[in-house]
Homo-oligomer: A and B are copies of this chain.
Amino acid sequence: MVKLRVHNLAVSLDGFATGEGQTFEAPFGHAGGRLMEWFFPTQTFVSLSGGEAESPGAGTQGVDDALAAAAWKGVGAEIMGRGKFGPQHGPWADEAWRGWWGEEPPFHTPVVVLTHYERPDLTVGETTFLFRALPPEDALALAASVADGLDVRLGGGPTVVREFLHADLVDHLHVVVVPILLGRGVRLWDGLEGLDERFDIEVVASGSGVVHYLMTRKDRGL
């Protein structure tokens, strides 16, 4: 049975998953890189960003790395919000924008991009982006159908994750609480009163200062 999994979703101590003012230059707005500083030193990130070619095995291998790496295990498709693909709003002015990731995006699977403005499928490297206007249930069905029997990763942003949590479609939720106070931006937890009752929750503090929350839906063993 295909599971829907969220990994490495970082929020500030005051609950913001992105800062204010997303632009091409600042995908996390005024948060800058601060929500992901725990991730950058990991072997997982170094490898994803091509650093391994220069120095094989570089990067940390502690709990941050182990949990970060889990995001790429057994995943056959991703669902993401349009804001993760790019900072544009409204109808596409053109189709020149091919995502933040250059010519070899790190997904290597089909990616369903949720948007009110559909456009033709786009293949970049080993990743094919499918731009669809679909409610959560149908987006999950589409992603599952192209995931080759593997799980589906829900890649964010926070608004999209919240919608899927509201629809009770998320089986595994890995949230990383970073000890900073952003004060403004997009909150992850709004309107999710009682969510904890539907999940088993494991909590791990890392030496880096972040805290990992591993939430597994109670009616679904993982």
Contacts and interface: CB of A to CB of B under 8 A. Distances in A.
B184 A193 contact: yes
A150 interface: no
B213 A203 contact: no
A197 to B, nearest CB: 8
B203 A179 contact: yes
B183 A193 contact: yes
A179 B15 contact: no
A13 interface: yes
Copies of this chain present: 2
A210 B196 CA distance: 13
Band of interface residues on A: 20 to 34
Nearest to A191: B183
Given A183-B193, A193-B181, A211 B201 contact: no
Contacts of A192: 14, 181, 183
A194 interface: yes
Interface-centre pick from A14, A184, A213 (highest chain B CB count, 10 A)? A14
Contact of A209 (B181, B183, B203): B203
7 contacts: A14-B190, A183-B191, A183-B192, A183-B194, A203-B210, A205-B205, A211-B211
